């Protein structure tokens, strides 16, 4: 077998919808798109065989039950266990980890230890923290260097009280992988349970729990082209038998009376309530789909793209990457002191390139790298060289806009009074904005205008924070005689640029003059509503509304 990106991508109907023809989707670590076979299977389930499983035995119920157990057998093969009793359906990796934290920790004694790493997704941190508080357990962390776990030093934190080691197979924030074979060696012969968070790994290569040698493993179908709302928990039968169930309810019992219950056999003991049946049907189709692909060739393709992405973005002026192409599950990550990542994200969004910014649910790791947010581009097999080229070109253009803003004169001649300066915005010429042809040119000018807004740490307090701005913005007001003045601060260049535009229309005017200024008309005239992402537009309106509310209070 071999791999053709275009043939692979054709199987994902989202990309052929008219509104998505230009889409470059690089947010695959968050969730992947779905092939037609998965969408059809979900629809077909509701269309032909929707019924609840196990509880009743009419024709449709038998059909649905058989489907669920068939998919369980497929999932057992997908995970590399031949034993269906070792496969629990969950809502996703998060639920699998919560189940483990609850059931495994219930048996532990105060002072027992759980080992985690600084690179864990919050789903593999918070449930253990909660269980540790409940059972007086200690959490220890694999030694790290600036947040990056040194998995080869895992033994340093293993001790006689270590009962659980729960580690990621690959970081969802920076992409680096853990060496599972090495971890297996270090854990060999110890009386503890090893949990692998394979939420990212499962999207990029086949999983084999026998080869990995772990006791438990979790993943979410939506990360590997399957539906959301369904995930898998693998657990060794021997341990699952001993563990108390996590949730109680229907399906997980054999017999119930008023004072006690007997639980069902594995795997149903851990599946309380009605499962996500349609999602299980979709998962079945997804597993068949994956089986029919040349996964090794898919991985080669993804790795090639990842190298290109790192090489080309790494070459852009002043760019320092937080991720490396080596040993990486398909993620490029960076942060840059010249701009807040959310500005670049919106710029890319304006070109229909989807990426993610933030801490990626791995706050301790991102903080340890010295940042509060990063921009992450994450790959799947339907991404192409053209996707990478468009992303790189768009980032380069954004940096170019920044550069021209750097060279723009700083117009600030602050008049310092009462603690914060009134920026001099009189030099911002609306006619210059009017004469700029095209959005790109206007955006460039807005970035230059952002320089007219001086930093004002003094106004960054909760009472001045404007809700509704995706990037924080603070707005203050002062009246001098009849005239009103506002000042603003934000980390975002775009918010500052838009704010400069807004304040240039308000500052130095009386209430009557402000009232006769049609800000919304200007906003439409300059096509901000067309080119800015909705959250940016909402941010602008939030600033405008706050300014107007402040003015109305002055009467």
Query: Cα 167 vs. chain centroid, distance in angstroms?
Result: 19
Choice between 199 and 466, CB closer to ligand PMP: 199
* 95 versus 343: smaller Cβ distance to ligand PMP: 95
Which residue do the tokens 């692909």 mark? 293
Distance in Å, CB of 359 to ligand PMP, minimum: 12
Of 123 and 377, the one with the shorter C-beta distance to ligand PMP is 123
In the block, residue with structure tokens 């701009």: 339
Residue 549 CB, nearest approach to ligand PMP (Å): 38
Its sign, for the CA torsion 395, 401, 405, 407, is: positive
Q: Which is nearer to ligand PMP, 215 or 343 (CB)?
A: 215
Cβ burial of 400 (10 Å; 0-12, 13-18, 19+) is middle
- Alpha-helical (H) ranges within 455-533 are 493-506, 511-515, 519-525, 528-531
Residue 194 belongs to what H/E stretch? strand 193-197
Nearest to 154 by CA among 182, 176, 127, 124: 182
Distances (CA, A) of 32 to 14, 39, 224, 288, 390: 11, 13, 6, 17, 19
Least gap, CB of 231 to ligand PMP (angstroms): 6
Contact 69, 275 (CB under 8 A): no
Least spacing, CB of residue 238 vs ligand PMP, in Å: 25
Distance CA(392)–CA(395), nearest Å, equals 5
Smallest distance from the beta carbon of 181 to ligand PMP, in angstroms? 19
Residue 475 contacts residue 460 (beta carbons within 8 Å):
no
Under DSSP, is residue 490 helix (H, G, I), strand (E, B) or coil? strand
Nearest distance, CB of residue 104 and ligand PMP, angstroms: 17
Number of Cβ within 10 Å of residue 198's Cβ equals 29
Q: How many Cβ atoms are within 10 Å of 21's Cβ, its own excluded?
A: 9
Nearest to ligand PMP of 33, 94 (CB atom): 94
Q: Are 273 and 91 in contact (CB under 8 A)?
A: no
Catalytic-role residue among 105, 214, 361, 469:
361
User: How far is the C-alpha of 221 from the C-alpha of 234, rounded, in Å?
Assistant: 13
* Residue 361 a catalytic site member: yes
Residues binding ligand PMP (CB under 6 A): 92-94, 121, 123-124, 168, 172, 197, 199-200, 220, 361
We find the least distance from the C-beta atom of residue 168 to ligand PMP, in angstroms, to be 5
Nearer Cβ to ligand PMP (97/422): 97
Question: Which residue number, 200 or 401, has a Cβ lying nearer to ligand PMP?
Answer: 200
Q: How far is it, in rounded angstroms, from Cα 33 to Cα 26?
A: 11
Catalytic residues: 361
């Amino acid at each position: 077998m071999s791999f053709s990106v275009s043939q692979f991508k054709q199987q994902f109907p989202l990309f052929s919808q008219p509104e998505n023809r230009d889409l470059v989707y690089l947010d695959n670590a968050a969730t992947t798109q779905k092939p037609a076979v998965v969408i059809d299977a979900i629809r077909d389930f509701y269309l032909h065989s929707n019924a609840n499983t196990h509880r009743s035995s009419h024709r449709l119920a038998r059909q649905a039950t058989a489907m669920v157990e068939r998919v369980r057998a497929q999932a057992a093969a997908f995970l590399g266990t031949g034993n269906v009793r070792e496969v629990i359906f969950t809502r996703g990796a998060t639920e699998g980890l919560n189940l483990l934290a609850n059931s495994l920790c219930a048996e532990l004694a105060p002072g027992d230890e759980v080992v985690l790493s600084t690179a864990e997704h919050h789903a593999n941190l918070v449930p253990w923290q909660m269980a540790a508080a409940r059972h007086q357990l200690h959490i220890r962390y694999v030694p790290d260097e600036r947040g990056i776990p040194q998995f080869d030093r895992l033994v340093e934190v293993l001790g006689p009280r270590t009962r659980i080691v729960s580690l990621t197979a690959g970081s969802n924030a920076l992409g680096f992988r853990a060496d599972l074979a090495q971890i297996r060696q270090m854990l060999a012969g110890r009386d503890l349970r090893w949990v692998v968070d394979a939420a990212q790994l499962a999207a990029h290569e086949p999983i084999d729990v026998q080869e990995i040698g772990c006791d438990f493993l979790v993943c979410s179908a939506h990360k590997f082209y399957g539906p959301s709302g369904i995930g898998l928990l693998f657990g060794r039968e021997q341990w699952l038998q001993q563990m108390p169930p996590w949730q109680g309810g229907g399906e997980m019992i054999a017999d119930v009376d008023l004072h006690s219950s007997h639980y069902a056999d594995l795997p149903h003991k851990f599946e309380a309530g009605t499962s996500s049946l349609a999602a299980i049907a979709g998962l079945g189709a997804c597993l068949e789909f994956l089986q029919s692909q040349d996964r090794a060739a898919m991985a080669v393709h993804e790795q090639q793209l990842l190298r290109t992405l790192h090489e080309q973005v790494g070459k852009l002026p002043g760019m320092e990457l937080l991720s490396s192409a080596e040993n990486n599950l398909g993620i490029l990550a960076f942060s840059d002191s010249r701009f807040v990542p959310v500005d670049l994200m919106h710029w890319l969004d304006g070109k229909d390139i989807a990426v993610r910014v933030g801490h990626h649910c791995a706050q301790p790791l991102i903080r340890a790298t010295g940042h509060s947010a990063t921009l992450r581009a994450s790959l799947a097999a339907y991404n192409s060289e053209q996707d990478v080229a468009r992303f790189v070109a768009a980032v380069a253009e954004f940096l170019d806009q920044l550069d021209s803003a750097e060279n723009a004169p700083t117009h600030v001649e602050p008049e310092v009074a009462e603690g914060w300066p009134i920026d001099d915005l009189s030099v911002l010429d609306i006619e210059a904005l009017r004469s700029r042809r095209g959005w790109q040119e206007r955006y460039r000018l807005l970035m230059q205008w952002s320089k007219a807004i001086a930093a004002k740490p003094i106004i960054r307090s909760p009472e001045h924070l404007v809700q509704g701005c995706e990037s924080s913005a603070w707005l203050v007001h002062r009246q001098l005689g009849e005239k009103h003045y506002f000042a603003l601060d934000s980390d975002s260049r775009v918010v500052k640029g838009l704010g400069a535009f807004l304040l240039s229309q308000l500052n130095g005017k009386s209430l009557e003059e402000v009232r006769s200024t049609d800000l919304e008309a200007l906003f439409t005239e300059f096509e901000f509503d067309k080119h800015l992402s909705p959250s940016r537009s909402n941010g602008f309106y939030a600033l405008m509304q706050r300014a107007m509310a402040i003015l109305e209070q002055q009467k």
